[in-house]
Amino acid sequence: MAHKAGLELVEQPDEEAAAAVERLQQELLTRPEDNDLRTQLAWAIRRLTEESLAVTVYEVRVIASDRQRRMAREASARILELAPWDGDLRAFATNLSDEVERGGRWTWESKALAQTLAACVAVIGLALVVAGGLVGSIPLIVTAALLSSAGLACVVLGFRREAWRITAREAEPLLERAGI
């Protein structure tokens, strides 16, 4: 993400939070059944995740990069694995997982424009196919079909986005901190 005046760009998450997660993970290797330690690690992962996400001037956390999205997905799964009995952690992890899931859905950007362009491409393609059929020109029919298919593919590729990318772009002017 481009650095803007007044926007804090964090390349790495907070070192204290990252160090705490690493230290607790090492301790957990020696005491895997220690539920207090598991809960502490889950809370540390939560803090690290929260510090790694982008934040708007309204203190709303936003997943604004692929890296943040991957981290959020991994953190939600790890938190649920570590401390499923902690209601606050479970709610955080479930909400984070839901946000990652919703953000991964493909959606139309500028849907009305995309539909208009797709309809125009389809109508022109069909008109040329019909014209080719009326004059008996197989090359015109094939060319029209190929070009209209390519045109529709361009519309889809040009206007379909993962929902998190649209949200991140819309939030960008309001970001106070870009996160990792």
Spell out the SS3 assignment of the chain. CCCCCCCEECCCCCHHHHHHHHHHHHHHHHCCCCHHHHHHHHHHHHHHHHHHCEEECCCCEECCCHHHHHHHHHHHHHHHHHCCCCHHHHHHHHHHHHHHHHHCCEEECCHHHHHHHHHHHHHHHHHHHHHHHHHCCHHHHHHHHHHHHHHHHHHHHHHEEEHHHHHHHHHHHHEEEEEC
**Phi/psi of residue 108, nearest 5 degrees:** -85, 135
Model pLDDT, residue 12: 52
- Are the C-beta atoms of residues 103 and 163 closer than 8 Å to each other? yes
Single-letter amino acid code for the residue at 85: W
Which residue type sits at 91? A
Residue-level pLDDT at 14: 60
Q: How wide is the angle at C-alpha 30 spanned by C-alphas 28 and 36, nearest 5°?
A: 40
Both ends of the chain: CA-CA distance in Å? Answer: 9
**pTM to 2 decimal places:** 0.76
Q: How far apart are CA 22 and CA 31, in angstroms?
A: 14
**What is the chain's pLDDT, residue by residue, as a tens digit (180 residues)?**
444 444 444 445 567 889 999 999 999 999 999 999 999 999 999 999 999 999 999 999 999 999 999 999 999 999 999 999 999 999 999 999 999 999 999 999 999 999 999 999 999 999 999 999 999 999 999 999 999 999 999 999 999 999 999 999 999 999 999 998
pLDDT the model gives residue 117: 97
164 φ/ψ sector (left φ>0, alpha ψ -120 to 50, else beta): alpha
